[in-house]
Amino acid sequence: MVIDSILSDNKQLSYKRDFGAVFIDFPQPLQQGSLQSLTFYYSGKPLEAPRAPWQGGFVWKKDKNGKDFVGVAVQGTGSSLWFPSKDSQSDEPDEGCTIQVAVPNGLTEVSNGRFKGKEDLKNGFTKWKWEIVNPINHYDITVNIGDYAHIHDTFKGLDLDYYVLRDNEAKAKNHFKEVKTMLDCFQGKFGSYPFKEDGFKLVET
């Protein structure tokens, strides 16, 4: 991944890379506890996972109908493999994050959190938007792209959303009947599902 520029208040900042770290020079000292907004422009060819999920990166496949089927596995490698982040397992975005990904028309992109809509970009691509409001580990932020069928259900006020390859929809509807029994057991023993605001989702990858 190559950083093209870093901006603060629409002003370009100088920076330097030291292996996996990026050190940014601000024109003035930052006040402790203050909130700062940075914009990163970056590009490059995502690293392909040599042996997912043990060796991280993107996984580029085709489904049996020849359509793109894409995912990313960075649990061990870290999120900075594919987007700029404070890539430390001791820290995480306390207020969640927003994910927007453009994919070829006809495919579905699924990320963490709640679906917030999609936009036809009029160039052969559609942008999908997802929003997470709870704290989340960087390495858990993900993208999944495929010819997905969407199955929706609810359980005690909790939204259940399943995304499976279209040819597996009938099989999945039967398979996912077990989810409510599982959730009922877990909530009885460990308490209520803690991320209700972000919903519950299972995605074929």
The pLDDT tens digits of the residues spanning 107-137 come to 999 999 999 999 999 999 999 999 999 999 9
Query: How many structural domains compose the chain?
Result: 2
Quick count: other Cβ atoms within 10 Å of Cβ 179?
15
Q: Which domain holds residue 186?
A: 45-203
Q: Give residue-wise pLDDT tens across range 52-102.
A: 888 899 999 999 999 999 999 988 888 888 888 888 777 788 889 999 999
The DSSP H or E segment spanning 24 is strand 21-25
Mean pLDDT of the chain: 94
The pTM of this model reads 0.91
Residues 75 and 105 in one domain: yes
Residues 112 and 143 in one domain: yes
Residues 10 and 49 in one domain: no
Given this model, what pLDDT does residue 160 score? 98
Residue 84 structure tokens: 């700029």
Distance CA 173, CA 14 (A): 52
Residues 77 and 49 in one domain: yes
Instruction: Look up residue 150 and give its amino acid.
Output: H
